[in-house]
Structure 1
Amino acid sequence: MLNVAILTVVVLAGTLMIWPRLANAPVWRATITPLASIIGSGFLVLGPILDVSYGGYAPLVMLGLCAIAYLFGASIRFNIADIETRPAPSRLLSALEQASSVVLAFAFIVSVAYYLNLFGAFGVSLTTLDDAYHANLLTTAVFLLILFTGATRGFRALERMEQVSVGLKLAIIAGLLLGLLVHFGQATGQGALEFAPPQVTGWAVLTLMAGLIVTVQGFETSRYLGAGYDAPLRIRSMRLAQWISTAVYCLYIGLLTYAFKSDPLSLDETAIIELIEVVAPILPLLLVVAALSAQFSAAIADTNGSGGLISEATGGVINEKLAYVVLAGIGILLTWTANIFEIISYASRAFALYYAIQAGIAAIRASQRGHSRKAVGFSALALIGVAVALFGTPVE
């Protein structure tokens, strides 16, 4: 019965995603890109990590991650608004923007490795080849496919998948939340809710949290949608995307934390599959479908983005096709030399450095505008971003 209810919710949510009045609304179209990127960054892998690492305090940590992301988003929103009114920046601001583009390009490279390693892990998770070796083989094959496509035909054909995968992913997440709500209610009725003790304490609480920033990353995409949307709409849509993702993430982590027993020995990138098997038999298959479509489309988007950024940052010395070779080479190297949790940490630290530079830019712009309080706040954010980049650690 629950399987039918979950499928019904998935279908209804999917129908809503393609409803013309919603799908064609400018504010929703501008919101869906950052929203899909935020939720796609770590929804499936984050739940078990927080549950095992932080125990009953996981929802507070989730709220903290979302709050930090929202503050970094505030600095980018300030920059969007200021660029609109003062399009000609100083030499210092131009240099910082150039540096942030280079850092973002590198962050995209690492994030593609992260997305495709998740793709590989989920791709073999329900097969008899469910091990790290075959997951890495699948990841490598997809890297080579992306490299071949980007170097020969470009990504225009593959980009058509993005809108479909976004709607599919959000619809399946709606079904997952229904299943978790029912399971939470059953556990409450049976008196089976539990508050597990945290596995990490002290300084490690903050350094691990810093290493998970990439799981709430993606809001910055609004910064680069200027060709299709004006500044007020991009600011509004980024804020809306962060509000929605915060609500979804906190509900998800809250339902997962107290209704399931955490097992540190079973923690891996596909641990969510084993956890939700007890909720409804249909959920593992749905989550694998969501993971494959979401990670592939996110990898395509970031590969495309990094190629353009690298070409622009090097003045065309490294063209987009050569940039794809660099990306695939680094990604395959990371695949075979680092585990997924290390890659998550690397990506988090790279994005944190980008956010630090953007916060620094916002501090300078605010100071030039005479907004001293905002300048101090953005400066503090820049220092936090640098600290995250320096001290973020992976899950052990």
Structure 2
Amino acid sequence: MPRLDERQRGVLRATVTPLASIFGSGFLIIVPVLERTTGAWSPLAIAGVCALAWVVGSVVRHVVREVEPRLAAGDLGRAARRLERGSDVVIVVAYVISVALYLRIMAEYIVEGLGLSSPLERERAIAVVAIVAIVVLGVRRGFTGLDFVDRVALGSVLLLVVLLSAYLLVHDVGLVAAGDWPRPPPTGASAIEIVLVLGGILITVQGFETVRFLGDEFDAETRIWASRLAQIVASVVYIGFVVLATPLMGTSVGESPDATLLDLVARLAAFLVLPLVLVGTLSQLAAAVADTAAAEGNLHGLGRAFRGPRAILISGVVAAALAATMPLFSIIAVASRAFALYYALQCLVALSTTKSRWRRVGLIVLALALVGITVFARPVG
């Protein structure tokens, strides 16, 4: 077996962060969310969402290659610098909302997996306690040295994906052999409603932009290849998993998306329910820690007023307030809106270093579409 060279090893190391972020953002909720939105059309829907994410990811990679050097050299126009500064503010907001989202998903898995009573109150309480714990950890010792948590979480998620996919494949092959291929029931949503809701789940494929913040560890080309690889792997996994899960959609719809996924796993392979809860808890906690650290780091860069523990305290208070007061589906939509606005601003920043007329037109169209998601995206249900 050929050995990897230093460049390839660096790409693999750099891939961990964006790939763990993408899976942390959406793997645990994507099937039930599509079940409620697109039903039998879910494979096409997730393919469309992944395609949009790839196009946006190409913009982020352009910014890494073309904009970052000019920004460091002070050779970027005033308007582009202001847009980049504005995007720094927006991404902080997006990451803070993501922390609330990840920990609400984590709490829901714990509550549903253990069958606790008063689920909504317990979910909110667990999420807030987890946020407090992360803030205390960040203030007392910081988040350096926790990279291994991302690696463990990513490995656990990938292992679970393989097991679930294998069982889904066996189940689907059995349906074909028996001449029975159930179609999920219609969701009753119109085409416009589906588009608006799909815009509201952009968060499920978010994470490829994290390469923007790994510049101290990896050079531009390593980060660009890591972003590509992360998106390819995530797209293959998402599309494949949704295709295999579609025949089970609509057979047992619970009150919350994660309960639906747990019900699906319970019907398919009951012994995987506990591993799903454990992996869900680990992956969401790791993603929340990573995004808290990212929000803190970006806040530090916005001015002296956010230096020291003040940045993480602000992030924690806002995330706790969101986790304690907002429905899960609403947090998903709000997070998607925040990331869509960040990506739209990145499109406008990229315009300053793009000479091709058609690419400029494409960036403007993409920016308008992302602004549309920011304004009109809807929560599921």
Normalising by structure 2, we get a TM-score of 0.93
Q: Is the 8 A contact 1:159 1:297 kept in 2?
A: no
Instruction: Determine the C-alpha separation between the residues in 2 that align with 1:208 and 1:256.
Output: 20
Q: Hey, what does 2:187 align to over in structure 1? A: 198
Q: Hey, what does 1:172 align to over in structure 2? A: 160
Matches within 5 A, 1:329-368: 329-366=317-354
Quick one: percent identity of the two aligned structures? 33
Q: Hey, what does 2:378 align to over in structure 1? A: 393
Three-state SS of the structure 1 residue aligned to 2:36 is helix
Moved more, 61-70 or 315-324: 315-324
Query: Aligned match of 1:143 in 93, 113, 131?
Result: 131
- CA deviations on 1:86-143 (whole Å, 9 max, x unpaired) are 3431222211111101000000000000001011111222224251111211111111
Decide whether aligned partners of structure 1 residues 163 and 195 sit closer, same or farther in structure 2, where only a CA change above 3 A counts.
same
Cα offset, 1:32, TM superposition: 2.0
Instruction: Determine the C-alpha separation between the residues in 2 that align with 1:372 and 1:346.
Output: 33
AA of the residue aligned to 2:289: I
Q: Is the 8 A contact 1:73 1:220 kept in 2?
A: yes
AA of the residue aligned to 1:353: L
Q: Hey, what does 2:11 align to over in structure 1? A: 27
Instruction: Determine the C-alpha separation between the residues in 2 that align with 1:353 and 1:237.
Output: 23
Q: Hey, what does 1:185 align to over in structure 2? A: 173
Q: Is the 8 A contact 1:165 1:297 kept in 2?
A: yes
Matches within 5 A, 1:51-70: 51-70=35-54
Decide whether aligned partners of structure 1 residues 152 and 84 sit closer, same or farther in structure 2, where only a CA change above 3 A counts.
closer
AA of the residue aligned to 2:23: I
- CA deviations on 1:285-343 (whole Å, 9 max, x unpaired) are 11111111100111001001101111211x12122411222222222221222111100
AA of the residue aligned to 2:372: A
Q: Is the 8 A contact 1:364 1:375 kept in 2?
A: no
Q: Hey, what does 1:15 align to over in structure 2? A: none
Q: Hey, what does 1:94 align to over in structure 2? A: 81
Three-state SS of the structure 1 residue aligned to 2:131 is helix
Moved more, 85-94 or 179-188: 85-94
Moved more, 208-217 or 195-204: 195-204
Aligned residues: 373
Instruction: Determine the C-alpha separation between the residues in 2 that align with 1:312 and 1:93.
Output: 17
Q: Hey, what does 1:380 align to over in structure 2? A: 365
- CA deviations on 1:33-90 (whole Å, 9 max, x unpaired) are 2111112211111101102321110111101100111111111111111136534312
Three-state SS of the structure 2 residue aligned to 1:191 is coil
Structure 2 residues without counterparts, runs of 5 or longer = none
Structure 1 residues without counterparts, runs of 5 or longer = 1-19
Three-state SS of the structure 1 residue aligned to 2:38 is helix
Cα offset, 1:28, TM superposition: 1.2
Instruction: Determine the C-alpha separation between the residues in 1 that align with 2:300 and 2:219.
Output: 25
Q: Is the 8 A contact 2:17 2:150 kept in 1?
A: no
Q: Hey, what does 2:101 align to over in structure 1? A: 114
Cα offset, 1:158, TM superposition: 4.5
Over the aligned positions, Cα root-mean-square deviation in angstroms equals 1.9
Q: Are 2:289 and 1:300 equivalent residues in the alignment?
A: yes
Q: Are 2:62 and 1:78 equivalent residues in the alignment?
A: yes
Three-state SS of the structure 2 residue aligned to 1:25 is helix
Instruction: Determine the C-alpha separation between the residues in 1 that align with 2:5 and 2:112.
Output: 34
Instruction: Determine the C-alpha separation between the residues in 2 that align with 1:143 and 1:393.
Output: 26
Instruction: Determine the C-alpha separation between the residues in 1 that align with 2:175 and 2:324.
Output: 40
Q: Hey, what does 1:322 align to over in structure 2? A: 310
Instruction: Determine the C-alpha separation between the residues in 1 that align with 2:146 and 2:215.
Output: 22
Q: Hey, what does 2:356 align to over in structure 1? A: 371
Moved more, 262-271 or 170-179: 262-271
Matches within 5 A, 1:11-50: 25-50=9-34
AA of the residue aligned to 1:207: L
Q: Is the 8 A contact 1:57 1:198 kept in 2?
A: no
Instruction: Determine the C-alpha separation between the residues in 2 that align with 1:75 and 1:348.
Output: 17
AA of the residue aligned to 2:282: S
Instruction: Determine the C-alpha separation between the residues in 2 that align with 1:213 and 1:110.
Output: 13
Q: Are 2:230 and 1:238 equivalent residues in the alignment?
A: no
Instruction: Determine the C-alpha separation between the residues in 2 that align with 1:199 and 1:385.
Output: 25
